[in-house]
Amino acid sequence: MLCYAVLAVPLAAAAFAGMVPWRRSVGWVTVLANGAVLGIGTVLAIETNHHRPVEALNGALRADALSAFMVVVIGTIALLAAIQAVRYLDVEIARGRSSARHASLYCVLVQLFVTCMLAAVLSASLGALWVAIEATTIATTFLVGHRRTDGALEASWKYVLICSVGIALAFLGTVFVYFAALHVPGHATGASVLDWTSLMAASHHLDPSVMRLAMALLVLGYGTKVGLAPMHSWLPDAHSQAPAPVSALMSGVLLTVAFYALLRFKVIADGALGPDYVRTLLVIVGLASLLVAASLLLTQRDYKRMLAYHSIEHMGLIALGAAAGTTLAIAAVLLHILGHGLAKAVLFLASGEILLVEGTSEIEKVPALLSRRPVLGGIFGFGLVALLGLPPFSLFVSELNMIRAELDVGLGWAAGISLALMAVIFAAVMGHGRHLLLGGAGASGKPAATPGIVAIPLVGGLIACAVFGLSAWPLQSLLYAAAHVVVK
Amino acid sequence: MRAGRELDLLQLTAGLVLACSVVTLWRRDLRALVAVLALQGGALGTLAALLAVQHGDLGLGIVAGVVFVAKGFVIPSLLARVVRRDPGSRETAPLVNVPASLVGAGALVIVSYLSAGRLTSLFPSPATRLAPLGLATVLVGFFLLVSRRKAVSQIVGLLLVDNGIALVAFLLTAGVPLLVELGASLDVLLIVVVLQVLATSMRSRFGHVDLDQLRELHD
């Protein structure tokens, strides 16, 4: 019942937005729908935390603690993005850059996009998971190009082509896993061969050499959607060209939904191969991503691209945490998924507002934001503090725990390299941030106010991020329950 | 005797799929590229139908029909619409020239036979022995993607990768579960529609669909 509801609500909102001509209230309906997703996700989380997984549709949909956690993350970010979208669409229409028809299309596609992500985390079959993740690419392409500029068009082309190739490799990997599973005597047959629970049960009997090939393809393939090096090149373009609420969703949750797929496959492969093989793969792509992010953040001149490269960094950190693979590590990875989602969504939404009011995304041309627009500048500043992993925000706790876990399993050298690269990134982003917030000759004239529709949800997001950093209470047991799902 | 003929047909269609992808490296005329792609889709659908008959599998038969129509007709005709607006369009300056590309394709076939050894030895059967042909198609598709600059060539490269994967899936496992296969086919079809719309709007905005000349976004 809960599984149906969580998919039906955003889908119904998409249908509604498609049939009713655009006006503000349609936007608020999508806000309500995403709030409902968050609410249902919370109920699912409580349910799966204390009881067994919830199944629906003859077992095709299945929510365990990990799925429920991901539903909560998706609901949270979708809610923040939907509120900001009301303002974004309003302003775009008022300035004549968008029409009511485009606004309707936007709402429909965003709600379909959210539904696809929810379907991905609720699929029991790893094949269906693939179909849902591929569908997110289709739903988001026209959202990336929604601003209809030359750059947006180029970004959408790169995005859809590179991600489709990547995800095709993930499909080949899935085919190999299926092939290995078919040759396990006594394993399930028919459609349930790719069912995650049955693959888990058979994982020790899967042929190791086929699984090695499969996992390499899966890490490369899903890694493309996660934005991990070497297949990250679409990400800075797509995330910087998309409208801010879409960037928030893509960076805040879509990346980590793809990573969720890797977590599911990782535990199966660990059963067949032992932990070392996937660990090596994840350490390589994780460190490579950090290196790419560090080298390109140093010279960044565009604040939206800066945020995009920051996503590559955080996905690299998550990959390293998952490489460690202990319960502590996975719980920290999940907390990082939530914390990064919140902080990144707040920053992208704030940057969207800066772009709306300042008209440029170049760092050079937007100095001294803190004195000219104190509230907006303050949100952006605190967001950066959160994203850089400083206390009291939850990213500090999760990064600390991931590094602890890496030391526990003998990945101290990788943790050391990652810390050095993080220091470079820290310095680079601080430099850009200082110019953006404090730089220039200082402001003349009265500071401009920031509308409540922008400020209130973003401050809320930052507070949530800080609360999860200061007190593990609301999440602790869910995080560990979810981590246990994918740790042998 | 009958089994022998079935095997011959299986080998013929699988070989045809790979041969088509090699031809895409050779021909520069974009219209020819699309025609070859349609032939490859048809061969793939026929191969799936042969396997469906062999296994007596109705689900696979449905998939075969879908693949035949989607990859043999619908997708190529979508691409043909992009090409038609650009008559006489050719891949003028590929990053790797044609003779070198063909030598490269030969190397890729050898690589896929070497790397697929374990796949075929795990469950040796006439069908799995052909699986390296599918892997080679995937690799040739990649090669086309990175070495060609026209939008249509890149879409064809993506579809070669996809057809190669489908060939591997049919040969190794007689197709993944029906719903997954149908979902995957639908996704691919939609991706091509999306790419076609993007290519069309690039054409009307920039007056060309040459990706080398897109230089708006960089670091």
A131–B183 CB contact, under 8 Å: yes
B168–A165 CB contact, under 8 Å: no
The contacts of residue A432 (CB under 8 Å, 6+ apart) are A297, A300, A303, A306, A363
Return the minimum-mean-pLDDT range out of A248-252, A419-423, B37-41, B79-83. Answer: B79-83
pLDDT over 90 (residue A7):
yes
What CA–CA distance (Å, rounded) separates A118 from A67? 9
pTM of the prediction?
0.94
Give the residue-averaged pLDDT of A14-34: 93
For chain A, the average pLDDT equals 91
A131–B202 CB contact, under 8 Å: no
Give the residue-averaged pLDDT of A315-339: 95
Q: Both ends of chain A: CA-CA distance in Å?
A: 29
Q: Which of A175, A194, A210 sits opposite B169 (nearest CB)?
A: A175
Q: Is A62 helix (H, G, I), strand (E, B) or coil?
A: strand
Q: How many CB atoms lie within 10 A of CB A280?
A: 11
Q: Is residue B219 part of a domain?
A: no
Q: Is residue B9 part of a domain?
A: yes
The larger pLDDT score, comparing residue A191 to residue B147, is at B147
A410-429 pLDDT per residue, tens: 999 999 999 999 999 999 99
Residue B185: which pLDDT band, with cuts at 50, 70 and 90?
confident
Residue B2: which pLDDT band, with cuts at 50, 70 and 90?
low
What residue of B is the nearest CA neighbor of A194? B177
Q: Both ends of chain B: CA-CA distance in Å?
A: 63
Q: How many CB atoms lie within 10 A of CB A357?
A: 17
pLDDT over 80 (residue B206):
no
Which of chain B's residues have a Cβ under 8 Å away from the Cβ of A141?
194, 198
- Check CB contact of A329 with chain B, cutoff 8 Å: no
Which residues of chain A from 100 to 159 reach within 8 Å of chain B, CB to CB? 125, 127-128, 130-131, 134-135, 137-138, 141-142, 145, 150-151, 153-158
In this predicted structure, what is the pLDDT of residue B47? 94
Q: What domain count does chain B have?
A: 1
Q: Give A449's DSSP letter.
A: P
A105-118 pLDDT per residue, tens: 999 999 999 999 99
Which residues of chain A from 197 to 236 reach within 8 Å of chain B, CB to CB? 207, 209-210, 213, 236
Residue-number span of the structural domain to which B122 is assigned: 2-213
Give the residue-averaged pLDDT of A346-351: 95
Buried b or exposed e, range A201-211, using 16+ CB within 10 angstroms: ebbeebbeebb
In this predicted structure, what is the pLDDT of residue A52? 83
- Please tell me the distance in Å from A209's CA to the nearest CA on chain B: 7
Which of chain B's residues have a Cβ under 8 Å away from the Cβ of A210?
118-119, 122
Which of chain B's residues have a Cβ under 8 Å away from the Cβ of A128?
179-180, 183
A157–B202 CB contact, under 8 Å: yes
Tokens of A310: 């920051």
B88-133 pLDDT per residue, tens: 677 767 778 888 888 888 999 888 888 887 777 877 888 888 899 9
Nearest alpha-carbon partner for A10 in A30, A27, A26, A25: A30
Domain boundaries, chain A: 1-124, 149-274, 291-488
Q: Is residue B113 part of a domain?
A: yes
Q: Give B95's DSSP letter.
A: S
What does DSSP say about strands A61-63 and A54-56: parallel, antiparallel, or unpaired? antiparallel
A178–B176 CB contact, under 8 Å: yes
The percent of residues in chain A predicted with pLDDT above 70, rounded, is 98
Tokens of A4: 């149906």
- Residues paired with residue A302 on neighbouring β-strands, in sequence order: A362
What CA–CA distance (Å, rounded) separates A74 from A132? 14
In this predicted structure, what is the pLDDT of residue A352? 92
B6-24 pLDDT per residue, tens: 788 889 999 999 999 999 9
Q: Which residue in B60, B112, B165, B218 has the most chain A C-beta atoms within 10 A of its own C-beta, making it the best mutation to test that interface?
A: B165
What CA–CA distance (Å, rounded) separates B13 from B34? 18
What amino acid is encoded at A182 in this protein?
L
Q: Give A22's DSSP letter.
A: P
Q: Give B38's DSSP letter.
A: H
B30-76 pLDDT per residue, tens: 888 999 999 999 999 999 999 999 888 888 999 999 999 999 999 99
Tokens of A284: 């390589």
In this predicted structure, what is the pLDDT of residue B1? 42
Which of chain B's residues have a Cβ under 8 Å away from the Cβ of A182?
173
Give the residue-averaged pLDDT of A446-453: 82
Residue A475: which pLDDT band, with cuts at 50, 70 and 90?
confident
In this predicted structure, what is the pLDDT of residue A118? 97
Instruction: Report how far apart, in Å, the C-alpha atoms of A177 and of each of A37, A266, B57 are.
Output: 32, 12, 21
- Residue A162 has, within 13 A of its CA and on its CB side, a CA count of 23
Tokens of A341: 């989602």
B187–A138 CB contact, under 8 Å: yes
> What's chain A's length in residues?
488
Q: Which of B162, B177, B195 sits opposite A127 (nearest CB)?
A: B177
Question: Greatest CA span in chain B, whole angstroms?
Answer: 63
Q: How many CB atoms lie within 10 A of CB A46?
A: 13
Give the residue-averaged pLDDT of A243-251: 94
Which of chain A's residues have a Cβ under 8 Å away from the Cβ of B219?
236, 296, 299-300, 305
Q: Is B185 helix (H, G, I), strand (E, B) or coil?
A: helix
Report angle CA A380, A350, A304 to the nearest 5 degrees: 90
A54-97 pLDDT per residue, tens: 888 888 899 999 999 999 999 999 999 999 999 999 998 998 88
Q: Is residue B67 part of a domain?
A: yes
- Residues paired with residue A54 on neighbouring β-strands, in sequence order: A63
A300 torsion bin: left (phi>0), alpha (psi -120 to 50), beta (else): beta
Which of chain B's residues have a Cβ under 8 Å away from the Cβ of A176?
119, 172
- Check CB contact of B118 with chain A, cutoff 8 Å: yes
Q: Which single residue is written with the structure tokens 């999860």? A: A468
A181-232 pLDDT per residue, tens: 988 877 666 668 889 999 998 899 999 989 999 999 999 999 999 999 888 9
In this predicted structure, what is the pLDDT of residue B213? 67
A127–B176 CB contact, under 8 Å: yes
Nearest alpha-carbon partner for A123 in A38, A220, A196: A196
Q: Which residue in B173, B188, B215 has the most chain A C-beta atoms within 10 A of its own C-beta, making it the best mutation to test that interface?
A: B173
pLDDT over 50 (residue B214):
yes
What amino acid is encoded at A276 in this protein?
D
Q: Which residue in A58, A129, A131 has the most chain B C-beta atoms within 10 A of its own C-beta, making it the best mutation to test that interface?
A: A131
Q: Give B212's DSSP letter.
A: G
